[in-house]
Structure 1
Amino acid sequence: MIDTKRLTLRPATVDDASFYLRLVNEPSFLENIGDKGVRDLDGARAALLAGPIAMQAQLGYSLWMVVRKEDGAAIGMCGLIKRDTLPDTDIGYAYLPAFWGQGYAWEAASAALEYGRDVVKLPRLLGIVSPDNAPSSALLKKLGMHFVERFATGKTDLYRMEFPPRHN
């Protein structure tokens, strides 16, 4: 669906359940994003169907699988998410630790941001992150987002980017 120099971002399918199960149970995912309660393949399939697969069908965007072109390895997920708890769409991402520090998160997030701006025509994009997750905060800033507020719970920072109005 979206190709970058080294990556393909594509919609998730139920065939991605084993990868999703592994990703959402990584200690870093649990610490920085939270426990999704997915403990087996059936739970992973159900979570994919109710989450990214349903959102893709409804909105034309979602959290996508990030696949490395050189070997076809699934390395993470990145995309656009419309949450009931936020006023606008946000960008989300998570990668297996073996693929951190190689520029993949920046490459995929940049492509997702461009898709949101240019294809979906979003007026703005949000980013949410744990205040203790410095690398994720740095990525949001590198994408051009600006800190807005820390939610009252103190567990989440909100970032925002406004896209310039388009004139046809």
Structure 2
Amino acid sequence: MIVNESDRLALKVFSVEDEEAAKNFWGNAEVMVHCGGPTPHEMLGKVLMSYQACHEKKGLSVYAVVEKETSEVIGAAGFNVASGLEKVELIYHLSKDSWGKGYATEAAVACTEIAKQTDGVETIFASADPHNVSSTKILEKAGFQFIEMKWFDDTNQEEPYFEYQILQDDK
């Protein structure tokens, strides 16, 4: 099920059929070098199904990024939803073949549009490894504001922390 589209990309709810494609981003050590390393291939099916369940339960999740021209799943973008929808975390990971084409920025903007249309979302936040300058540029291009350097226990480091405030006018 497609949840949003941009000029070149479609964002769709993950399905088990996307497991092989997910090896090219979540299962790839080079892609995940700034994100704690790759997900073991045998875990990818569970990850995809958890994101599908999150979308069904909360109406917001991480989605498969599909290149419209080829119909290939080239990455993932969307939201980690901790408890409520008030404050959600934007993530994006694209296969290495898709780097440098503006897809991550396009996907991030498409995700913010989904959040604007989702009742209850007030703030989107994101962080990036301080060595991943490309990711911080993506967040800035997508309209996120740098807030501060912030410590993250899951990565065991201080990272640039960004927010995107959703105004009532955006809804």
- Asked if Structure 1 and Structure 2 have the same fold, meaning a TM-score greater than 0.5 normalized by the shorter chain, the answer is yes
CA drift at 1:36: 5.3
1:150-165 → structure 2 map (5 Å cutoff): 150-152=149-151, 153-165=156-168
- Do the aligned partners of residues 124 and 102 (structure 1) sit closer, same or farther apart at CA in structure 2, a change above 3 Å counting? same
**Please, which runs of 5 or more residues in structure 2 have no aligned partner?**
none
Instruction: Give the AA of the match of 2:82.
Output: R
1:9-24 → structure 2 map (5 Å cutoff): 9-24=11-26
Which of the pair is proportionally richer in helix? 1
- Do the aligned partners of residues 25 and 36 (structure 1) sit closer, same or farther apart at CA in structure 2, a change above 3 Å counting? closer
Q: How many equivalent residue pairs? A: 164
Root-mean-square deviation (Å): 2.3
CA drift at 1:156: 2.9
CA drift at 1:123: 1.3
3-state SS of paired residue (1:55): helix
Instruction: Give the AA of the match of 2:61.
Output: S
CA drift at 1:131: 1.1
**Please, which runs of 5 or more residues in structure 1 have no aligned partner?**
none
- Do the aligned partners of residues 19 and 143 (structure 1) sit closer, same or farther apart at CA in structure 2, a change above 3 Å counting? same
Which residue of structure 1 lines up, in the alignment, with residue 126 of structure 2? 127
3-state SS of paired residue (1:132): coil
3-state SS of paired residue (1:32): coil
Quick one: percent identity of the two aligned structures?
22
Greater Cα offset, 68-77 or 149-158? 149-158
CA contact under 8 A between 2:127 and 2:161: conserved in structure 1?
A: yes
Distance 1:124 1:16 in 2: 29
CA drift at 1:21: 2.7
CA drift at 1:136: 0.5
